[in-house]
Amino acid sequence: MNIKDLIPKLLKDDDKKVCDKTLSTELISEGGASPSLSLPGENFLFSAKVEGAFSVNLFNDTNDHSVESKIFEHWPEAKSLYTNQALLGYSLEGRVKANASAENLGKFELGINAEQSFKAKSFRIHDCDTTVKDAFTGDVTSFKFIFKKDDVTSLKVNEAMAFEAAGKLSLNAGIKVTDVYSGTASMVSGLLNLSGQVDLKLDASASVDFKIEIEDDFSVVIIRQAEDKFKVCINKIIKRTKELKAKAGIEAALGDNDKLKDLVNKFFEGVDEELFKYINEKIDTTGLKEEDLEKVLKAASLLKLTDISSVDDFREQYEQKKEKVKEKLLEVITNKVAVGISYEYSNIKTNESVFSGVFSKNAMNQFHGDIVKLKVGDLIDAYQKDPSSYNLTSYLQRKTTEITSSFGLNVAFGNFKLTSSIQREFKEVTEKKFLTDGGFAFKVDAYNRKSTRSYKHGKNSDVYILNMDASMPVFVAKEEDLTVEKFDFAFGLSFDMKENKTSDKELRDIVDWAVTWDIVPQEKSAEVINKIKTEVLNKGASEVTYHCFLKVPQGEFEELIPYFKPSLQTLIPGALAASMLQVDYADIPDFRVRNNIELRRKHYTAFWANYLNSYALNQADVMLSLVKKDLSEYFDTQNFPELSLYESGLGNYEAYNTSRTTEILNFNDVGIMVNRLTGFYDDLSKAINTRVHYEKKIFTKSIKGIDKTKFLKDFNLRFMGRLILDMNQQLADPIEIEKGFNITYKEGGKEKTLVIA
């Protein structure tokens, strides 16, 4: 396309002047594209396409600036031109797209996608008595480009040039493997003692995908403000992304139903022998007595059998229930079972520079190459060496690093699915800026870590979130002054529980959580439970999600950091005891600890203090056996023989929620959690007190430690919130900690929220 060939398009307005307000802003807009170019290879096809465009815009009113808003935000002086002058803006645009994708490479795939676009712009000034045709003809006869130094220095006053570029390059690589194994799985057969009886059919698959993406977004604007004054504005963003995704899956099915039925029957024969052994022995010798019938009735209660008045009733109902259980068990083990794991990693680095300066004509000749090549770092270095070389008016450099990793596990059989995943996020933002007094300043604008653990079981899910944020509220004069004590810290915990159908037990658990975090007053718990039932559950609400959160505001959490280590033998045992929802014994009045923090502290604080002092560094089975012994002896001395028997593991006492203390220890890794908690925050406290640089190992280790504390379990998360509240009460001027409990749900197809507190 020859630009001069476009002149006839303007002949229809050959008598109109450039300041005529009846003319539209867009005078010319022409585009074109080349045919796609294809270069076939042995295993791939490379294709490319080039697109181009040329446009002319008329600016004789400030309302026209919206067409080129990015340019005119750097050029406020242009608003005063339109009393006796106008601007013609020229834009040359180009875009190149190219890609290559692999075909028939077996297990390996490789793809490349590239896209590059640019816009070269020129803004020429004309007096109001100039016709559009004459202005256009003169401009294209001596067209000016920003990359030519002479074209830049020969600009008239109040003329400008700009160049914008954006590019994206993506590399995708993937390996996919699928193999099928069928036959007898010796390991599984050996575990089940089924050698030669049952076949395990196994499908295994795996895939790994890797992606690198580079994105650039540049712009440079040069405005001649006076005879010896050029304003230069540069915006530069470079983004680098690395992603890794890996998946592996196994699907297995057990075959031969007849043999499996035989296996299930043998299993229940063993259960029958154990269950009826005591009763059968009694019948054969002395016969059943009244107290023996009580044991039968208790067994019936455990199995949820009703209307039992005799041993025969028990036998009959048990046989009926057993057949249903056998059918369900057989259905489960003959179904295809799928197990999958996934890992994802993303690393995004963004470097953003915003620069503006005023250059003399000599300086423009000297630095033109650095300006059009967007070498902002070289321009800043030159200024720092010789501040008289040009007038630096503003500069901001922002570097951002965002790292996200996640690991997931899912199990599915039949219509049931169980998924567990943990995601860790890290973000760092640093800034460097130019000060009006001629110096530079530095700041860490954000240094954040966040961990999220999710469980999905059927239609229900639980989500645990912990995050710690650090940021510097003010700039410092030197990079070496970016020390830890200058950070303001924030800390947050939250728990979401989504229930397809909420049981009474689950409702009491979530309200007790809110009581444990001082969100709901203890004496109001029954009222809150009734409110939720009345306003949500009894109205047939669906997709009900319960949300509890606790947040220590920015600039306040550092007040608590020094208290973690000293709390090991003081506040921590009490916080652990207060968080034990699992120990509500309904039949013992002094152990009805539901929503009763102080009663839980009364019975278990001494145990936790002794445990942390004696056993916490060793979670071996021998330690748990000692814990059972200690708890059993403790409850004996407190005259709670039933609890002594229950905690020892010998009794089958019916608790509201039958988690023995040793089970809490085992499942939640309490000893490991507490030791890491106190250790990491002690390191952080030392880093603050000794003015460690934020990049030093002692600080980064303590911040990364948030991912290793094992907080993301219900007991541990509940404990952490309770500990923060207990530590806060020790401060002379307590922090106002943000807390909340709300419920989101759907009713009649509409999303609603009930704020409890």
Q: Are 653 and 642 in contact (CB under 8 A)?
A: yes
Q: What is the DSSP letter of 65?
A: G
Torsion angle of C-alpha atoms 270, 271, 274, 277, degrees rounded to 10: -90
Sign of the C-alpha dihedral computed for residues 363, 365, 370 and 373 taken in this order: positive
Q: What is the pLDDT of residues 361-413, one digit of tens each?
A: 999 999 999 999 999 999 999 999 999 999 999 999 999 999 999 988 887 76
Q: What is the mean pLDDT of the chain?
A: 81
The two three-digit tokens of residue 640, written as one number: 């709670």
pLDDT at 367: 96
Work out the average pLDDT over 623-631: 73
Helix (H, G, I), strand (E, B) or coil at 473: coil
Does pLDDT of 558 surpass 90? yes
The candidate with the shortest Cα–Cα distance to 370, out of 351, 352, 389, 393, is: 389
Burial track 299-321 (b if 16+ CB lie within 10 A, e otherwise): bbeebebeebeebebbeebbeee
Identity of the amino acid at 661: T
The candidate with the shortest Cα–Cα distance to 211, out of 29, 347, 57, 393, is: 347
The candidate with the shortest Cα–Cα distance to 754, out of 534, 525, 499, 551, is: 534
Does pLDDT of 197 surpass 50? no
CA distance 9 to 173: 49
Q: What is the pLDDT of residues 690-701, one digit of tens each?
A: 999 999 988 988
Q: What is the pLDDT of residues 218-236, one digit of tens each?
A: 999 999 999 999 999 999 9
Sign of the C-alpha dihedral computed for residues 15, 18, 21 and 24 taken in this order: positive
The two three-digit tokens of residue 704, written as one number: 């990364």
Work out the average pLDDT over 5-11: 57
pLDDT at 540: 85
Work out the average pLDDT over 575-599: 74
The two three-digit tokens of residue 314, written as one number: 């028990």
Strands 337-359 and 108-127: unpaired
The two three-digit tokens of residue 496, written as one number: 């979401």
Q: What is the pLDDT of residues 728-757, one digit of tens each?
A: 999 999 999 999 999 999 988 899 999 998
Torsion angle of C-alpha atoms 61, 63, 67, 69, degrees rounded to 10: 100
Sign of the C-alpha dihedral computed for residues 39, 42, 45 and 48 taken in this order: negative
The two three-digit tokens of residue 366, written as one number: 């000297």
The two three-digit tokens of residue 134, written as one number: 């004459």
pLDDT at 641: 75
Work out the average pLDDT over 639-654: 65
pLDDT at 504: 85
Longest dimension (CA), the chain: 125
CA distance 238 to 351: 5
The candidate with the shortest Cα–Cα distance to 525, out of 698, 351, 756, is: 756
pLDDT at 711: 79
Count CB-CB contacts under 10 A for residue 755.
8
- The DSSP result for 445-458, as a single string, is EEEEEEEEEEEEET
Where do the structural domains in the chain lie, given as residue ranges? 1-143, 254-338, 415-755
CA distance 277 to 610: 41
The confidence band for 195, taking pLDDT boundaries of 50, 70 and 90, is very low
Angle value at C-alpha 226, between 225 and 229, nearest 5 degrees: 80
Would you call 617 exposed, middle or buried from its count of C-beta atoms within 10 A (0-12, 13-18, 19+)?
Answer: exposed
Q: Of all residues in the chain, what percent are helix, strand and coil, respectively (each to 5)?
A: 40, 35, 25
- Scan for tokens 């006796």, then name that residue: 84
Which alpha helices (H) appear in 615-669, and where do they start and end?
621-637, 641-648, 661-668
